Amino acid sequence: MKRLGILQTATAILLLVAAVEAVGQAPGQPGQSQEPAPPKQEPPAKPGETPAAANRVQREENPTHIFGIIPNYTTANEVPGKQPPLKARQKYVLAWHQMSDFSAYVGNAFQAGLQQAFNSSPRYGQGWDAYGKRFLAAEADQATSSLLVVGVLPAVLKDDPRYFRRGNGSLSGRMWYAAGRTFVTRRDSGGSTFNTPQVLGQLISGSISTAYYPSQDRAAGRVFQNWGVGLAYTSGYNMLREFYPDILGILFHRHHKTPTAPPAAPASAPVQ
Helices 220-252 and 50-61 pack at an angle, to 10 degrees, of 110
Least confident piece of the model among 52-66, 97-111, 245-259: 52-66
- Residue-level pLDDT at 43: 37
Higher per-residue confidence, 217 vs 246:
246
DSSP letter string, 20-56: HHHHHHS-SSTT----PPPSSPPPPPPGGGHHHHHHH
pLDDT at 2 over 60: no
Structure confidence at residue 212 as a pLDDT band (50, 70, 90): confident
Q: How far is CA 122 from CA 10, 20, 27, 133, 251, in A?
A: 23, 38, 51, 12, 43
Least confident piece of the model among 30-39, 161-170, 206-215, 247-256: 30-39
Structure confidence at residue 151 as a pLDDT band (50, 70, 90): very high
Beta-bridge partner residues of 193: 185
One-letter amino acid identity for 55? Answer: N
Higher per-residue confidence, 76 vs 149:
149
DSSP 66: E
Indicate the average pLDDT of the chain.
75
Q: Whole-model pTM above 0.95?
A: no
Higher per-residue confidence, 256 vs 197:
197
- Residue-level pLDDT at 200: 95
- Enumerate the H helices of the chain as residue ranges: 6-25, 50-61, 88-100, 102-117, 128-146, 153-157, 171-180, 196-209, 220-252
| C-beta neighbour count of 126 within 10 angstroms | 11
| Beta pairing class for 70-71 and 65-66 | antiparallel
- Residue-level pLDDT at 182: 95
pLDDT at 266 over 50: no
Instruction: For the chain, state the CA radius of gyration.
Output: 21
pLDDT at 183 over 50: yes
Phi, psi of 129 (to 5 degrees): -65, -45
CB of 166 closer than 8 Å to CB of 242: yes
pLDDT at 47 over 80: no
- Residue-level pLDDT at 148: 95
- Residue-level pLDDT at 114: 83
